[in-house]
A = this chain, B = another copy of it.
């Protein structure tokens, strides 16, 4: 049997804290047990605080892609025009959901190491006045880059366009504000910056989005893809449309509690500091960041161009096999072009950054890349001068 890794630094699901692990092990309750109803309600209220919103939040009982598909299914009617911003693999893929549910996807695309310019969004909306929805990926995990969702949302609001924001790995890594940013449907995952278990979609939904869903010719109801079912059952009557994933809810509650104990601002700041330090380490090793510009690098993972002479599989395989360290490679179209260092959740910490960078140095050297030992960890640690524990 394959040994389990020493540390999981992948692009998600990420490592969870011992409290969250312990929470997952609590006795499985009947979902209509009063203690579970209370816990689910509590989880919902914590999620609102982490989203920093007064919008309704909905927890769909499936991995974040369920929430993303549900958003498309719930809003789009045949023929609807949707402006789909593409700066990476996940943005590109969203076009398929748009078309699946009958929409017409109009793409604003940039290279997969870049971010979408809000001015290009404005131009596109001016050129396509019938656009009803805009979809954008906040944190493009495969590219380790962020789009400027706040500015993009502002543009969308000028045009009265509803926005669908994939912030699966964005929530917890940057300070979001659905109302202020003009987000109508946000979809996050617990298994990224929040250090929770995978298996749930964490959604925030604006009143306008609810309205659009309900007024659609054929509203999505009575389906695993239905967001309205959750509104009408859970939000309005504290009933469940179907059995929720009890243990994952325990894990989520625990993870959210920990974010709020730290304080969302501190929690996000921790991710940003570690990501910055990680980039400093990478550069000091003579490696190249994948992101075209450091300003658009995200705080979930750090993408690094594969150095010449070493393949993605060699590097990741070696780190995993010899040192028990799991990192991620390029994904989809980007496979083979970059590797990604992960620093989400509990591993967004100086100890784990030093561990990851140290093993990266050792592994690169093992594989023949010319490493000045200590350069990477040293630059990373130097960059953490103002680290504050939270």
Taking CB atoms, residues of chain B closer than 8 Å to A173 are none
Considering the complex, give the chain B residue whose CB is closest to the CB of A22.
Answer: B22
Q: Is the CB of B38 within 8 A of A2?
A: yes
Q: Is the CB of A247 within 8 A of B362?
A: no
Q: List chain B residues, Cβ under 8 A from A199.
A: 61, 199, 244-248
In the complex, whether A321 has a CB less than 8 A from a CB of chain B is: yes
CA distance A324 to B378 in the complex (A): 19
Shortest Cβ distance from residue A142 to the other chain B in the assembled complex, whole angstroms: 13
Determine which of B4, B359, B375, B380 lies in contact with A351 in the assembled complex, contact meaning CB atoms within 8 Å.
B359
Residues 349-378 of A contacting B (Cβ, < 8 Å): 349-359, 361-362, 365-366, 372-378
User: Any chain B CB within 8 A of the CB of A28?
Assistant: yes
Q: How far is the CA of A325 from the CA of B323 in the complex (A)?
A: 21
Contact stretch, chosen from A10-18, A178-186, A286-294: A10-18
Asked if A104 is at the interface (CB within 8 A of a chain B CB), the reply is: no
B373 touches A351 (CB 8 A): no
Q: Please tell me which one of the listed residues B61, B198, B225 contacts residue A246 in the complex, with CB atoms under 8 A apart.
A: B198
Tell me the bound Cα distance from A93 to B7 in angstroms. Answer: 40
Contact of A352 among B64, B355, B366, B374 (CB under 8 A): B355
**A212 touches B (CB below 8 Å):** no
Query: Could you say how many copies of this chain the assembly holds?
Result: 4
| Interface segment, one of A48-56, A144-152, A382-390 | A382-390
Tell me the bound Cα distance from A10 to B31 in angstroms.
9
A170 to chain B, nearest CB (A): 16
- Name the B residues within 8 Å of A352 (CB-CB): 355
* A245–B389 CA distance with the chains assembled, in angstroms: 29
Query: CA of A228 to CA of B380 in the docked complex: distance in angstroms?
Result: 45
Chain B residue numbers with a CB within 8 Å of A234 are none
Q: In the bound complex, what is the Cα–Cα distance between A31 and B331 (angstroms)?
A: 13
Least CB distance from A358 to B in Å reads 3
In the docked arrangement, what's the CA distance between A361 and B377, Å? 10
Measured CB to CB, the closest approach of chain B to A263, in angstroms, equals 13
Contact in complex: B353, A324 (CB < 8 Å) = no
In the bound assembly, the distance between CA atoms of A246 and B247 in angstroms comes to: 11
Residues of B within 8 A of A191 (CB): 28, 243, 246
| Contact for A30 among B10, B22, B100, CB less than 8 A | B10
Do B351 and A33 touch (CB < 8 A)? no
The digit string for A5-37, where 1 denotes a CB below 8 A from any CB of B, is 111101111111010011011111111111100
Starting from the known contacts A8-B28, A61-B199, 6 additional A-B residue pairs (CB-CB under 8 Å) come to A1-B35, A15-B28, A66-B224, A373-B382, A374-B375, A377-B381
Residues on A lying within 8 angstroms of B by beta carbon are 1-8, 10-16, 18, 21-22, 24-35, 38, 61-66, 69-70, 96-97, 100, 189, 191, 197-199, 222-225, 242-248, 251, 320-326, 328, 349-359, 361-362, 365-366, 372-382, 384-385, 387-389
19 A-B pairs whose Cβ atoms sit less than 8 Å apart in the complex: A1-B35, A5-B33, A6-B349, A12-B30, A22-B26, A34-B320, A61-B63, A64-B243, A65-B224, A197-B247, A198-B244, A199-B246, A245-B248, A247-B248, A350-B358, A351-B355, A357-B358, A373-B377, A377-B378
